[in-house]
Amino acid sequence: MDAETNQTGDIQQRLLEAARLTFAEKGYHHGTVAEICERAGANIAAVNYYFRSKDNLYVEAWRQTFARSVSKHPPDGGAPATAPPEDRLRGRIRAIVERIADPKSHEFDIVHKEFANPTGLLSEAMIQAIEPIQRGMTAVVQELLGPSVSSQQVMLCEKSIMTQCIHFLMSERFQQTLPESVRLPLPPPPNVDPQTLADHIFRFCLAGLRGVRRQIETGAIQESE
């Protein structure tokens, strides 16, 4: 019985690994069940047997690769909850940059293709997975902006931080997935390591947050909510 259980788990895991790579490379629509099963060394009926459908396999493959990525790069970046908000911001920015820069973090490749050719299948899983991380960033941003900040300003500042973290690395990552014949004629990206990039984004964002806080406290930013 134990041997049978182990074998079952092995097949399921091989299917998940094969699906993760296939969907990262080709997306849901072009990643076929046949290719996944061949890659996993499994019978083509195995997907329905273990996951009931390609849809479920797609969602579970993303969930697993997301969980692995977050386990390897914890969202707090190693900064304890008792650390000053500046240190917590630095840690969270570092964690995001490291996750995106990690070539094994295929969660971003799968999501990028999902956005380009939507299925809607990942929506619920993404909300459940990302919401706790987002709450952590929101809390740090709100603390740095001060007690008088509006929820709108917190949201705008948080999105500005995330855009800086994501755009630079994801645009480069996306270019690498395209055939050379269709790559955009962009200049080569600067040779910046993830740590240097994270430190730059942190300094830039911290200066911006401090500037916004001064404007809030002097009344230069006024909103009606």
Which CATH number fits the domain that encloses residue 146?
Answer: 1.10.357.10
User: At 224, is the pLDDT very low, low, confident or very high (cuts 50, 70, 90)?
Assistant: low
193 lies in some domain: yes
**Is residue 35 situated within a structural domain?**
no
Domain that holds residue 83: 55-218
Q: What pTM does this model have?
A: 0.84
Residue 21 domain flag: no
Distance CA 126, CA 132 (A): 11
Residue 37 domain-assigned (yes or no):
no
Q: Give how many domains the chain has, as a whole number.
A: 1
Residue 179 inside a domain? The answer is yes
Retrieve residue 159's tokens: 């999105």
Q: How far is it, in rounded angstroms, from Cα 125 to Cα 199?
A: 30
* Sequence-separated (6 or more) residues with CB below 8 Å from residue 10: none
Predicted local confidence at residue 2, as pLDDT:
35
pLDDT over 70 at 142, yes or no = yes
DSSP class of residue 126? H
Alpha carbon separation from 147 to 135, 150, 166 (Å, rounded)? 17, 9, 28
pLDDT of residue 222: 73
Tokens matching residue 30 = 């072009």
- Classify residue 6: in a domain, yes or no: no
Region 170-188 average pLDDT: 57
Would 5 be classed as within a structural domain? no
